[in-house]
Structure formats: structure tokens, C-alpha cells
Amino acid sequence: MNRFYVFNGDADGVCALHQFRLVDPAAANLITGVKRDIKLLDRVEANPGDLVTVLDISLDSNRKGLMRLLEEGVRVEYFDHHHAGEIPQHPNLTAHIDLSADACTSLLVDQYLKGKFHLWAITAAFGDNLVQKARQLGATAKLTETEIDQLARLGEYLNYNGYGDNLPDLHFHPTALYEEIRPYANPFDFIAESNAFRKLAEGYQDDTSQADSLQPLTTDERYAAYLLPDAPWARRVSGIFANKLANAYPQRAHAVITPNHAGNYTVSVRASLTNPCGADVLCLQFNTGGGRKAAAGINHLPTGSLDNFVSSFKQHFCS
């Protein structure tokens, strides 16, 4: 039997993979990409009886690839919290899907593994901007405030690394970042000892300092939209900047719009923290859009559709 892990390249996907691999480090095929590269099951070439574990990518976006694998006799276990659509009823599929606003894939894996590597799940929750949930979990785990803050920074840095229009935009290929994390069962050891952590911290500080000087394209008390420049730093920081805005202005919804290499825009949307829903509904109105209730996005928004998106965004979150 061949083993495959198909995982999102952001904090949640990498930390979910890490938890599984700490339990079972046997040889496996790893398939991933940048955070927005989610149609990953099309790349899986498996044989009947093989096992594919899918982590943190939308089932609905991968339905065609999933059904192909299931019909070919491949066993698939699916862990995710994004828009799923109708979940197929198939004997080869085991689905662990939770669309709740305070769910993330690493927390689902944490439940499945009975908390064996709980600190990595808390790290991922911070990375997915589930800040209140993550802090509650940290307190329950009897972490100090300093330790909770350390995991918060680590989660942000791991998530930051996943953003980019293509792999050269990133500081680390997601598989390479996982390899840096792999020796560490405890995230505090990774923080203390890893050069990768220091590289991400430096990149994060440099990129966010540039983003902090940006002015919104449009704003009022209920929403704000930002148009970032066409630059690698902007593509790297887009998701983190959206999370930072959401935490700074919890009553507002936010959209961060960034030019991509295809000549279109990539959009990150965050619903307000006081009413964390509706981001997925908005983005699913546009081709290549998707996500979850609190946070969603559009991979390729045509430049000519910018005004339509901004108008829809304002109308969607105006009440």
C-alpha cells in the first residue's frame, strides 16, 4: 500500500500533516502548493488499496479528483473545514468535515488523534486567525501568557509563508517548511532552535511594516477594502494583513486585493469577528471563489471585475 498526504500549504495544512506524521512517520508521498493552490487531488496518481489523507482543502473544489480516486478503489480520509457541498456517500471515503466558524483542520486532526500533539493544533488555530479559540485552548492547556503569545507568533509566521501567487513568492516551499518542522514534537523547541523560524520572523516583520503604511480603497464602520501593489512582498503578506485588520477592527469586514502573476487579482476576505459569517457566500458568487464562513477568497478576479467585486463586498457586509 502506498501512502499519500495531500495538504494545504498554510499553517493549518502543515500543522495537520505534522500531527499525523509524528504518529506515523513511514514513507509517504506529499502533495501540496501555495495556500491558494487547492485543486490538489488532480495530481494524485494512486492505485487500488492505497490510502490518501486530505488535509485542509475544499472537498467541493476537489470533487472531480476525489470521485476519480474513490471509483479507482483508493481509500480516502478527508479532514477539512471549508465549503464542501454535498459529501459523497462512498465506502472508500471517511470524511471529517466541520464548517463551524471556530473549526480548523488541525483541530479536527487533534480530536482524531486524541490530543497527542495538541500544541501544534493550537499553533494552527492561531495561524487560521481563530485567536479567541486558540487562546482558550492555550489557557485550558495551562500555558503561560508568554507561551500562548509564542504559539500565536509561530502560527502567524507559518500561515504567512503559505501566501504567494506561486512557489517562488514564498520563503519556503511548504514541503520544505514541513521538513524543517518535522524533527520537533514540541513547537517551543522549534521556536528556540530553528533557523527557519528566525527567517520567517524576519520576513514577516519586513513585509508587514510595508503593509502598515497602506490606505484603504474604500472604508466605513462596517467594511474596508485594500488594494495592494504588484510586488512579491504584497502577495506574501496579503492573508496576514487581512487577519491583522480583522483583529484590529473586529466590527468590520475586510477585503485585501492583490495583483497576481496571471494579470488578475487575488482576493482575501474576512468577515467581522463580531459576526464571523458570510465570507464564503460572497466569494462563491465569483468564479474561483471559495473558503469558509469567517474567511474566504477568490483566486483569480479579472481586473475588469474589480468594481463589481467591491460593490458586492460593500453591499454584502453593509448591515
d(CA 54, CA 65): 12
Which residues, in sequence order, are bridge partners of residue 297? 268, 290
Handedness of CA 229, 260, 174, 290 (dihedral sign): positive
pTM of the complete model: 0.86
> How far apart, in whole angstroms, are the C-alpha atoms of residue 279 and residue 293?
5
Distances (CA, A) of 245 to 83, 90, 248: 23, 41, 5
Q: pLDDT tens per residue, the chain (319 residues)?
A: 999 999 999 999 999 999 999 999 999 999 999 988 889 999 999 999 999 999 999 999 999 999 999 999 999 999 999 989 999 999 999 999 999 989 999 999 999 999 999 999 999 999 998 999 999 999 999 999 999 999 999 999 999 999 888 899 999 999 999 999 999 999 999 999 999 999 999 999 999 999 999 999 999 999 999 999 999 999 999 888 998 999 999 999 999 999 999 999 999 999 999 999 999 999 999 999 998 899 999 999 999 999 999 999 999 998 6
What is residue 105's predicted lDDT score, i.e. its pLDDT?
A: 98
Q: Which CATH architecture has domain 218-316?
A: Roll (3.10)
pLDDT value, residue 14: 98
pLDDT of residue 206: 94
Return d(Cα 239, Cα 255) in angstroms, integer: 10
Q: CATH top-level class for 3-202?
A: alpha beta
Domain positions in the chain are 3-202, 218-316
